Each structure stands twice: as structure tokens, then as C-alpha cells.
Amino acid sequence: MITVIANLKGGSGKSTVAFNLGVWLLKKGHPVAAYDLDPQMTLSDVATVRREEGYSPPLQVYLAQESLAEHLKYHPGEVIVDVGVANMPRMKEAIGVADRVIIPVPPSQPDVWATQRFLKMIKDAVSGENHPEILAFINRADTHHAVRESDEAEEAIKTLSGVTLYPHRLFQRTIYRRSLSEGLSVFELWPNCKAAREINTFASGLYPEIANAVPGR
């Protein structure tokens, strides 16, 4: 399955989510091909740190290349694609063959507006018979219950056409930043932390068959 993680806005958490999902799949014993289509190459850098530090298993990251769509379709296991708008043609190409697109949305009105605009771009990028599932979720949700912005942003997402709200939020937590800089997923750096649990819930909802698979079969 080809899962593209994308958003118009920078810093919304694409690379963080792509990396943690990729390592989660690897830890489940599932082969993963990750693609970094962003010239900033954050995902590649994290994977390099991971490899240099000797953390196992390594995450194999491929870069943007010619005939991208063909390359993406070639992998038998899970494919995770991290894209930024800095490379628009590649982003459109990836979305054109995606099985699903996951949009991290920080909880603010400008981010909801940007998501709405991005949905229009996805619609233009998707042509022919390919109809990817489009999911948006709240990343960097406030951990304080009294702050209502995440609820409001989720309500706003529900009103947008062409997208489904994915209800498993990821919260604003320092460990996401720290783990990324060390080349580790949040659940490797601190297995019992809240971020580890929320990533597990998040990933299990996206890959239910892999989450429920009996090890060794």
C-alpha cells in the first residue's frame, strides 16, 4: 500500500509521522520502503542518523527520481512517502498513484484553510481511475484539556469535502523532536511514554492487519 504524507504547510509534522510510522512497521517485522521527496531531506537525515548510530532495523529511504510512480508501485511491502510542496511535480506524481494520503493538521484556523486549499490540489493531481483515501488528523494537539482548538479544528475538518477526519490525534510533546534528532522513534526512545502509546494507536488504526498479526506467522 502506498501511503503519502503531505500538506501544503511546512512544519506540520509530515517527516515526524513518516519516520515513526516507518519504524513502527519495521518493528512489526514488515518491509518498508520510505521515499523522501522533500529537498530538505529531513527523513533521509533521520534515517542516516539512525544508521550511523547503529539502531536496528534501519529505515531504507529512497529519494525523488525519474519515473517515480513506477518506482513507488514496484515495492511489495508498505510504501511511505514524505512530500513537501517544494517539489510539486513529484508530489502530484506520488498522489497520483497513492492508495491514501494522510494530512497532518496543526490545530489552527490558518492550518485548516491551508488544508482546504491542499484538498483542491489533491483533486487536481488525482486523475483517471485512482481514488486515494484522504485522511486528515490533528498533530501537535494541546495537551491541556481546557484548550478547545483541536476540537474546533476537527469540527472544521469534518465540514470539508473530499477528506475524512482520522480521529487519533498526536499531541504536542517534546519527545517527538528529541527522538527525531536521535534517529529513534518515540516508542524506542521511551517505550512507555504517552507519545509511544498515541503513535501505536495512530499506526494500528492505519494498518489494522499488521497491528493484529500474530508474530512469526
Name the residue nearer to ligand ATP (CB basis): 39 or 208.
39
Name the residue nearer to ligand ATP (CB basis): 130 or 182.
182
- Record the cell numbers describing residue 163, joined without a space: 477528506
- Please select the residue that binds Mg ion; options are 2, 4, 13, 14, rule is CB under 5 A: 14
- Please select the residue that binds ligand ATP; options are 3, 16, 87, 150, rule is CB under 6 A: 16
Shortest approach of ligand ATP to residue 214 CB, angstroms? Answer: 31
- Please select the residue that binds Mg ion; options are 30, 42, 51, 205, rule is CB under 5 A: 42
Handedness of CA 25, 45, 2, 99 (dihedral sign): positive
Question: Half-sphere exposure of 28 toward its Cβ, with a 13 Å CA cutoff?
Answer: 22
Question: Half-sphere exposure of 203 toward its Cβ, with a 13 Å CA cutoff?
Answer: 28
Q: Select from 99, 175, 124 the least CA-distant residue to 8.
A: 124
Of 23-31, 56-64, 172-180, 207-215, the window that binds ligand ATP (rule: CB under 6 A) is 172-180
**Burial class of residue 174 in the structure, from the number of CB atoms within 10 Å of its CB (0-12 exposed, 13-18 middle, 19+ buried):** exposed
- Give the span between the Cα atoms of 73 and 75, in whole angstroms: 6
CB 46 within 8 Å of CB 1: no
Residue 42 interacts with ligand ATP (CB under 6 A): yes or no: yes
The listed partner (ligand ATP, Mg ion, none) that binds 3, CB under 5 to 8 Å by sort, is: none
- Give the span between the Cα atoms of 120 and 72, in whole angstroms: 23
Q: Phi/psi at 93 (nearest 5 deg)?
A: -65, -45
Name the residue nearer to ligand ATP (CB basis): 121 or 212.
121
Shortest approach of ligand ATP to residue 198 CB, angstroms? Answer: 9
- Please select the residue that binds ligand ATP; options are 3, 15, 20, 87, rule is CB under 6 A: 15
Residue 15 interacts with Mg ion (CB under 5 A): yes or no: yes
Which residues inside 77-96 make contact with ligand ATP, applying CB under 6 A?
84
SS3 119: helix
Name the residue nearer to ligand ATP (CB basis): 45 or 130.
45
**Where along the sequence are the contacts to ligand ATP (CB under 6 A)?**
10-16, 38, 40, 42, 84, 139-140, 170, 172-173, 176-177, 180
